[in-house]
């Protein structure tokens, strides 16, 4: 049985879906705590540089491969370069999508639980106790992870157009409105000046810390959904004549704006209440509820808006991770989308359970980190940059210049030659340097 491949219904649908993939927990939950721990503005500057020098070429390269090959992340390399080891990049992508979704679903579940709490009255009392009690529980976080994964599976089950495209077209505008509204509100709370100083005034000492470079580059990969096959898979549902350069630029600009505006939601509120930005992974879950509680009724409403925003952002990203694996197994096992989605989704859910349990119920640590934190840093700081590096080398060094420009849809753009140089030399060198710094730092 050869199945007909699906395509996007419109170019706008593709843009919304790819933006949905990019904008996620990475922009709100991960960006705020990574920046909080990375010294604020120093992290921001290195992150913005990584987005420009690495993020843009890698995204355009993933798009070029996907649109050219019209197939899943592993098969794409087999089709373009048969019998070569380059398909390792696709394999790494599918593996990364699998592993990331396992713990992503856990945090998506936390967000849903918090949305539900604010819908039914809000979180009162010590919010750190509440959070630690909740994530340290055995069943409750797994129950919410189950609901979150169920929603993810449901959307992917419906297919590219009826599931992913339709849901993204609804969710992305709602997300944007909620985000801008919340930032406007947060800026009135009295911490705006301090937040601006924290976010935009460089602390030069942080530039000498190698770990800031690693986490900033890891963040660029994570937030733009690069190195995990997601952008490659999504662009494989494009018709061959669809524009790529402007789409990549649009998605990158919006994703970055989303992260910055999320910073303007979180940090002004944080400083207004004298709380610590370096709190770590629990930042939005432990710190923000204090603020919402202090604000009374309007705080409950803001809390609900915030956690619904977080849940929807997580969902539109989770579907792209699941789609990477689903697209691969539909072809590999030659089974229907519906069956593959349910089976693969269920396996990823089960794989996420140790991450959930590692938050207090059972002590599961690897190299001194909880299982969840380990999965996060292992995929973000190692797998994604490695997968991205192999993809850039593949395109930069095995395609002719003409092919690179043509498939990147940038041949007639004045920036074409610059893009070629960046893709061939600058981006791989930058990724390599940071990866090596990461290894040395780790040893
Ligand atoms: N890019 C999204 C985010 O920032 C996901 C990362 C897909 C795994 O959350």
Q: What is the ipTM of this complex?
A: 0.97
Residue 395 lies in a domain: no
What is the block-wise mean pLDDT of the chain (443 residues), using blocks of 10 residues?
79 95 92 83 92 95 96 96 94 96 97 96 86 94 98 97 94 91 89 88 82 88 95 95 92 95 89 78 82 86 92 96 97 95 98 95 86 89 93 96 94 93 95 85 70
Cα 325 to middle of ligand 1, angstroms: 15
| Domain of 147, in residue numbers | 11-36+65-202+221-357
Q: Sort residue 121 into left (φ over 0), alpha (ψ -120 to 50) or beta.
A: left
Residue 307, domain CATH: 1.10.4160.10
Start-to-end Cα distance in the chain? 50
* pLDDT at residue 218, as a whole number: 87
Residue 293 lies in a domain: yes
* pLDDT at residue 32, as a whole number: 84
Report d(CA 74, CA 366) in Å as an integer.
29
Cα 384 to middle of ligand 1, angstroms: 11
User: Which ligand 1 atom sits nearest the alpha carbon of residue 104?
Assistant: 8
* pLDDT at residue 419, as a whole number: 95
DSSP 67-109: HHH-S-HHHHHHHHSTTSGGGHHHHHHHHHHHHHHHHHHHHHH
* pLDDT at residue 241, as a whole number: 85
Show the beta-strand stretches assigned E in 153-252.
none
pTM of the model: 0.94
* pLDDT at residue 121, as a whole number: 86
Cα 439 to middle of ligand 1, angstroms: 23
Cα 258 to middle of ligand 1, angstroms: 12
State whether the beta carbon of 379 lies less than 6 angstroms from ligand 1.
no
Residue 75 lies in a domain: yes
- Work out the number of other CB atoms within 10 angstroms of the CB of residue 37: 18
* pLDDT at residue 301, as a whole number: 92
pLDDT in tens, 42-57: 899 999 999 999 999 9
Residue 387 lies in a domain: no
Number of independent structural domains in the chain: 1
User: Which ligand 1 atom sits nearest the alpha carbon of residue 222?
Assistant: 6
* pLDDT at residue 328, as a whole number: 96
Residue 277 lies in a domain: yes
* pLDDT at residue 62, as a whole number: 96
User: Which ligand 1 atom sits nearest the alpha carbon of residue 24?
Assistant: 9
Report d(CA 32, CA 282) in Å as an integer.
10
DSSP 245-280: HHHHHHHHHHHHHHHHHHHHHHHHHHHHTT--TT--
Cα 2 to middle of ligand 1, angstroms: 32
Report d(CA 393, CA 391) in Å as an integer.
5
The conformation of residue 206, written as its DSSP 8-state character, comes to G
State whether the beta carbon of 290 lies less than 6 angstroms from ligand 1.
no
């Amino acid at each position: 049985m050869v199945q007909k491949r699906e395509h996007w219904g419109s170019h706008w649908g593709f843009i919304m879906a790819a933006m949905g993939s990019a904008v996620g927990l990475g922009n709100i939950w991960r960006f705020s705590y990574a920046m909080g721990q990375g010294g604020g503005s120093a992290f921001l500057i290195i992150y913005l540089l990584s987005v420009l020098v690495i993020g843009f070429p890698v995204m355009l390269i993933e798009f070029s491969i996907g649109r050219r090959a019209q197939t899943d992340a592993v098969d794409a390399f087999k089709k373009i370069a048969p019998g070569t080891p380059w398909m390792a990049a696709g394999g790494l992508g599918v593996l990364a999508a699998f592993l990331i979704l396992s713990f992503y679903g856990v945090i998506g579940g936390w967000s849903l639980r918090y949305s539900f709490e604010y819908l039914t009255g809000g979180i009162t009392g010590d919010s750190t106790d509440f959070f630690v009690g909740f994530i340290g529980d055995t069943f409750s976080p797994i129950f919410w992870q189950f609901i979150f994964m169920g929603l993810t599976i449901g959307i992917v089950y419906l297919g590219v157009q009826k599931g992913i495209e339709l849901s993204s077209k609804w969710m992305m505008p709602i997300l944007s409105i909620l985000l801008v509204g919340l930032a406007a509100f947060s800026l009135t709370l009295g911490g705006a000046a301090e937040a601006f100083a924290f976010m935009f005034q460089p602390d030069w000492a942080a530039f000498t810390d190698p770990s800031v470079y690693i986490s900033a580059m890891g963040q660029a990969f994570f937030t733009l959904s690069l190195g995990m096959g997601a952008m490659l898979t999504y662009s494989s549902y494009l018709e061959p004549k669809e524009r790529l350069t402007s789409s990549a630029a649009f998605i990158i600009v919006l994703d970055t704006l989303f992260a910055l505006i999320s910073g303007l939601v979180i940090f002004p509120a944080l400083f207004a209440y004298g709380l610590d930005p370096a709190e770590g992974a629990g930042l939005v879950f432990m710190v923000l509820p204090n603020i919402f509680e202090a604000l009374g009724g309007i705080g409950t409403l803001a809390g609900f808006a915030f956690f619904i925003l977080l849940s929807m952002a997580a969902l539109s990203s989770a579907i792209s991770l699941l789609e990477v694996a689903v697209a691969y197994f539909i072809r590999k096992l030659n089974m229907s989308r519906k069956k593959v989605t349910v089976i693969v989704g269920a396996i990823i859910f089960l794989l996420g359970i140790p991450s959930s349990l590692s938050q207090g119920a059972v002590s599961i640590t690897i190299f001194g980190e909880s299982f969840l934190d380990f999965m996060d840093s292992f995929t973000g700081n190692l797998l994604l940059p490695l997968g991205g590096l192999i993809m850039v080398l593949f395109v930069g060094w095995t395609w002719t210049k003409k092919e690179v420009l043509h498939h990147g849809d940038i041949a007639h753009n004045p920036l074409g030659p610059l893009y070629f140089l960046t893709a061939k030399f600058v981006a791989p060198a930058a990724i390599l340097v940071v990866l090596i710094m990461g290894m040395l730092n780790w040893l």
